[in-house]
Amino acid sequence: MEYHIPVLLKEVIDGLDISGREIIVDATAGGGGHSKEIAKRFGEKGILVCIDRDQDAVRQLAASNEQLSDNDKCKVNIVHGNFGNIKGILNQLNIDKIDAILADLGVSSYQIDTAERGFSYMKDAPLDMRMDQSEKRDAYHVVNNYRPERLRQIIEEYGEERYAKSIANAIVAARPIATTIALAKVIQGAVPSTYYRTGGHPAKRTFQAIRIEVNRELEVLERFIRDAVGLLRCPRNDEKGGRIAIITFHSLEDRIVKQTFKHLATDCICPPKTPQCICNNKATLRIITKKPIEPSQEEIQANPRAASAKLRIAEKTG
């Protein structure tokens, strides 16, 4: 089984503008699809840092390290960690500035297709959904211990699910729920029969919401972006500024990336009615992608899971 098919591969490589870069970070490396291509383009003194919170991904990266480094063409550091701790991870590697950084926020094909990981509503498995298996909180805890109102809130906010209240009530009434298929059946029974025709599989949005809650996916995203931008090299003389590229797969992530990029690319951030700027803020980014880059129809046909991907890229200016 291929661990994960890299999404928007050419667009990411082009967007990171790798030529002349010395230190690049793949903050969510997964099976190393993007990293392998980055390594191919690297100079002999290049340093590639591959980070992932999934221990299976780290083992996969370690097994493919020879492919990544391509006969020692570049130095590869493989780290088990959360991209939200990017500053701490790079500090431990004695790296204070980087030239480019990538974050692919999607769930890997491996995670979805490995039934026992509990990410899929199509395969029966214990409720898990942890990207980092060393974490204690899993989907079973969320489903069986959260108060009804909190369940409704995360399903509504993180899943953008219109039937959140009905689903939350049905889950509470059916407790304990131990497996993915059992949860999917409860959800299916809580929504109108027309759901399949208008919203895809009835469990899709709720599973997304629970996964986001288990892994705290949105809590660290804005902090990661700001920390990553702070680590990027500023342009000097004829040198280009560092670049950041982020791939998202749902509107909640994309909104955070878009708004954070916009904020960091804006000089004055005073309230709109302030007659004169008093914040003295200076933009630190230039947005490269005014609109997100999306997969071509050819890529979607080859990899349907790429369909919702959006890539945003920005460059450090100061």
Please report, for the domain that includes residue 184, its CATH number: 1.10.150.170
Query: Left (φ > 0), alpha (ψ -120 to 50) or beta: where does 293 sit?
Result: beta
Residue 224 tokens, joined? 């990661």
19 and 65 share one domain:
yes
Question: 30 with 93, same domain?
Answer: yes
Domain ends where: 194, 215, 236?
215
CB atoms under 10 Å from CB of 79, counted, come to: 20
CB-CB contact of 18 with 24 (8 Å) = yes
Can you tell me the distance from the alpha carbon of 143 to that of 141, in angstroms, rounded to the nearest whole number? 6
Q: Give the amino acid at 8.
A: L
Q: CA–CA separation, 22 vs 44, rounded Å?
A: 9
Same domain, yes or no, for 179 and 263? no
Let me know whether 119 and 211 are in one domain.
Answer: yes
Tally of CB atoms within 10 A around 241: 20
3-state helix, strand, coil in the chain (%, to 5): 45, 15, 40
What is the model's pLDDT at position 61? 84
Q: Are 297 and 1 in contact (CB under 8 A)?
A: no
Regarding whether 270 and 122 lie in a shared domain, the answer is: no
DSSP state of 25: E
Output the CA torsion sign for 88, 92, 96, 99.
negative
Q: Are both 192 and 124 inside the same structural domain?
A: yes
Q: What residue spans of 19-105 are helical by DSSP H?
A: 33-41, 55-63, 65-69, 86-92
0.85 surpassed by pTM:
yes
Residue 239 is classified by DSSP as P
> Domain check: are 94 and 224 in the same one?
yes
pLDDT of residue 122: 92
Considering the domain boundaries, does residue 4 fall inside one? no
Tell me phi and psi for residue 9, to 5 degrees: -60, -55
119 and 88, same structural domain?
A: no
The per-residue pLDDT for 35 is 92
pLDDT value of position 73: 66
295 and 310 together in one domain: yes
Residue 131: give the domain boundaries: 115-215
**pLDDT score for 71:** 47
Digit-coded pLDDT (tens) for 94-112: 999 999 999 999 888 788 8
Give yes or no: residues 206 and 227 share one domain.
Answer: no
Residue reference for tokens 């992608």: 289
pLDDT of residue 268: 80
Q: Which residues of the chain have pLDDT under 70?
A: 1-4, 43, 65-73, 199
